[in-house]
Amino acid sequence: MSTETISQPARAEEIPAAAAARRYLERFAAPRAGAAAPAWLRARREQAMDRFAARGFPSQRQEGWRHTSLAPIVQTEFSFAEAAAPPAPALLRQLERLPLAGLGCPRAVLLNGRFAPEWSRLEGLPAGLRVTPLAHAWREVSAAEAHWARLATSERHGLIALNTALAEDGLLIEAAPDADLREPLLVIYASAASRPLAQFPRALVLAGRGARLALIELFVTLDGEGHFTDAATEIRLDENAEVDHYKIAHESLSALHFGAIEARLERDARYRTTSVLLGGRLTRNETGACLAGAGADSRLLGLYAAAGRQHMDNFTRLDHAHPHGSSREYYKGILDGESAGVFSGRIIVRPGAQRTDAIQSNKNLLLSESASLRAAEPQLEIYADDVRCTHGATVGQLDPEALFYLRTRGLEADAARRLLTYAFANEILTQIEIPRLRQALENELFARWTGTAAGAQANAPA
């Protein structure tokens, strides 16, 4: 059995593609900027567009989509980014002011889905790390043909198909075998447009045998309201490779965001991905990992903090295909205002994947009576008999005992509530292994919930 083939949900009841999809079909038919695409790429794109034309956007009647409506995406007529003129200096200054953009590590910037060399800082990359714009790699790098669009495939659903068909550019990130690249690479996906714009950024990450790579993907809005980001990141870990991946979704509160992060782990590979969802009006974040070799280890961490009318949907899928695999999922949500959170996690243990050890945990904090959380029943599909699979989900409010305790130590009731909220998030933040990133996020969230900027000391060493 192929380890990449996963049974698909029923196809019935999807939104008819015809009306909603016409713009995308027209866009696909229009001539593209830049050099001609190689035949293999044209074929993969066409196949993807056919998929999208046939199936359209996922509908709420489809399994795994019940609690999330894509209507805001389906009903908006987005424009598309044309070939990039050099970006305006004012926008660059804005980018530089983002606390998370200034982590001081090498960075690659994509603007509206296209590589922006003027904004990127890729000089002096450490030995063993290669970053190539996809528009170039598609034509020149054979690994792109071998691996591109093989993990985040059009088979899954229309949004990934659309990305595959319409991605104009993106990044190929290669870590050479045994390269030690613990100093992180920062990838910034920035959006800036005067009209609602659709962008389809894409990244392919190849970690060679025994390589160690740290990667941060940051999504931001520099200008323009209500843009649609349809992103896909594929991460392949060769034997014994180690990847520490972070996704920070920090777009404007009117942005519509879909992202797929698909990983495949060979024998003894170790993979950790942490998603922090902060921005966006509607977000669907899919994180999938296939443990395709014995002894692979996968950790999926998530923190989603929604307020106002934000909607954040987390979907995870762990596919254990070989024995002695271990997976951990820790997701925490903080929901305020009228926001809604969704969590659904699927765990597949294939025949022969004995001694699999899978733990899934989802905890949520509701800060207001109008906020809601929908946790789907965990979907466990276990076809091996010697496995440990546990899952748990909680939804709760702040602990009144802890609130009283803090107040008896002199903290105002409101400050005590904010501190406890921050503390709830901090359980995920403390697991971030890049100190500058952890600090930046702690500061951001501490300020959000406490109204001060003095937060970093909460768990920092003295």
Partner 1 sequence: MLEIRNLHARAGEHEILRGIDLTLKPGEVHAIMGPNGSGKSTLAQVLAGRETYAVTAGEARYLGRDLLEMKPEERSREGLFLAFQYPVEIPGVSNMYFLRAALNAARKQQGLEELDAADFLARVRDKIRLLGMEESLLQRSVNEGFSGGEKKRNEIFQMAVLEPKLAVLDETDSGLDIDALKVVAQGVNALRDPERGILLVTHYQRLLNYIVPDYVHVLSNGRIVRSGGKELALELEEKGYGWLETAAVA
Per CB under 8 A, residues contacting partner 1 are 399, 401-402, 404-413, 415-416, 419-420, 422-427, 430, 457-459, 461-462
* Residue with smaller CB distance to partner 1, 380 or 415: 415
Q: How far is the CB of 247 from partner 1 (least distance, A)?
A: 22
Three-state SS for 430?
A: coil
* Residue with smaller CB distance to partner 1, 151 or 428: 428
* Residue with smaller CB distance to partner 1, 89 or 400: 400
Phi first, then psi: what are they for 86, rounded to 5°?
Answer: -55, 130
* Residue with smaller CB distance to partner 1, 8 or 452: 452
Contacts of 6 (CB under 8 A, 6+ apart): 317, 319, 348
Residue at token pair 């697991």: 431
Question: How far is residue 421's CA from residue 425's CA, in Å, rounded to a whole number?
Answer: 7
122 secondary structure, DSSP code: -
Q: How far is the CB of 405 from partner 1 (least distance, A)?
A: 4
Q: How far is the CB of 363 from partner 1 (least distance, A)?
A: 11
* Residue with smaller CB distance to partner 1, 199 or 426: 426
Q: How far is the CB of 93 from partner 1 (least distance, A)?
A: 32
Q: How far is the CB of 441 from partner 1 (least distance, A)?
A: 14
Question: How far is residue 76's CA from residue 80's CA, in Å, rounded to a whole number?
Answer: 12
Give CA angle at 338 (335, 340), nearest 5°: 55
Q: How far is the CB of 460 from partner 1 (least distance, A)?
A: 8
* Residue with smaller CB distance to partner 1, 63 or 412: 412
- Kindly list the strands in the beta sheet with 297-306, ordered across the sheet, starting from the edge strand earlier in the chain: 114-115, 107-111, 180-192, 212-223, 242-250, 270-277, 297-306, 326-335, 357-366, 388-396
Q: How far is CA 424 from CA 177, 335, 372, 448, in A?
A: 38, 12, 17, 13
